[in-house]
Amino acid sequence: MVEHIYWSLLQWKDNQYVVAATELGICYIGSPNGKLDDLITWSNSYAKQSELIENDERLAPYIAQLQLYWKGEIRQISLPFDMRGTDFQRRVWNELQRIPYGDTVTYQHIANQLGKPSAARAVGTAIGKNPVLIAVPCHRVIGSNGQLTGFRGGLQMKQELLELEKACR
């Protein structure tokens, strides 16, 4: 059976984002000015029997919540997620959702929380595969030295998200 993945474009300030959801919830938020090809690549890996359907109406609730987040009016996306990944990746992504708004933690902290203190690099790899930027707040994870480290949306976006959260606390 073919699964439907609905997608739309979100324009925010100077950036455009591809946002996608299944019947179960949001499954993908692309990088700033990412291409539809990025969603196609993701769906070929995580939803092999799928059809991409542009549907602004179906994505409107998710897009509205993302816009409210960027305006500082909400602290988290409250609509359902459809996270696709390995068991370890999903455990990491669940842990990311426990990081309080406006706070940061290290990769090592996440590894410790998972009971895998030697897995900080694996945690970083899993975070890099987070398919729903912003909604699952991987931007709240920093290096052990306190520096901003890799982020699929770019370090400038990571810095902006952290500043937004600190200003709206």
The residues carrying an active-site annotation are 138
Cα 37 from Cα 59, distance rounded (Å) = 18
Cα 119 from Cα 141, distance rounded (Å) = 15
Residue type, 157: M
Q: What are residue 20's DSSP bridge partners?
A: 7, 28
Residue 10: both structure tokens together: 């979100």
Taking CA 90 as the corner, what is the angle to CA 97 and CA 18, rounded to the nearest 5 degrees?
Answer: 75
Q: Cβ of 60: how many Cβ atoms within 10 Å?
A: 11
* Phi, psi dihedral angles at 166 (to 5 degrees): -65, -40
